[in-house]
Amino acid sequence: MIKGDTKTAILDAAQELIQRSGANAMSYQHISEAIGIRKASIHHHFPTKDALLDALIRRYAAYFLGLVDSIVESKKDPASKLRAYAGLFEATLSEGKQDKACLCGMLGAELSTLGGPAAAGVRRFYRENEARLVRVLEEGKAQGQFHYKGDAKLVAAMIFSLLEGGVLVARAEGGHQRLHAMAEQTLKLLQR
């Protein structure tokens, strides 16, 4: 049986399961087994899987974007900010058995099967990440540290996509070292 807040324990277990296997492979039965409560108790807090996913995305986005905001607002130079940002993805992949991906990366792969609020939450998470990356890229260009051509919004989308997709690829081969190498190569391209 769980100790502490049941709702938080349910969200923690669901997040762990989704980051490793995806939302379609996660059921209330899996959560029940992971934390030792009846499925009816899960339904009490989250009547539907869509309600659970919506709450989970909101919680995850608030936490992750809070970390990103700390990086973006720091006194670090833009290249160091991008390294720290990539480090968030590397840290997720490095946890435990090195098989975890970003929650919204896993949900994005299953977007067509998600309910409206969850799908909207994933899209919002992507847009919010890209907007923060634009700030770092524009700062780096203004300081002469980055030398990319084109629209900062598209470069930000490219970097975010590289990290989200890179985690999935690196899970299959190379682990967090491969993801780190890809992030470093991206920085080299920006700094030419």
80-132 pLDDT, tens digit per residue, is 999 999 999 999 998 878 889 999 999 999 999 998 999 999 999 999 999 99
- Please give the Cα distance from 28 to 184 (Å, whole number): 39
- pTM for the full model? 0.92
- What's the mean pLDDT when you consider all of the chain? 93
| Domains in the chain with CATH codes | 49-190 (1.10.357.10)
Whether 134 has a pLDDT exceeding 70, the answer reads: yes
Rounded CA-CA distance 49/55 in Å is 10
Q: What is the pLDDT of residues 155-173, one digit of tens each?
A: 999 999 999 999 999 998 8
Q: Angle, to 10 degrees, between the axis of helix 78-94 and the axis of helix 175-190?
A: 160
Q: What is the pLDDT of residues 16-66, one digit of tens each?
A: 999 999 999 999 999 999 999 999 999 999 999 999 999 999 999 999 999
Residues near 191 by Cβ (< 8 Å), separated by ≥ 6?
79, 145, 146, 147
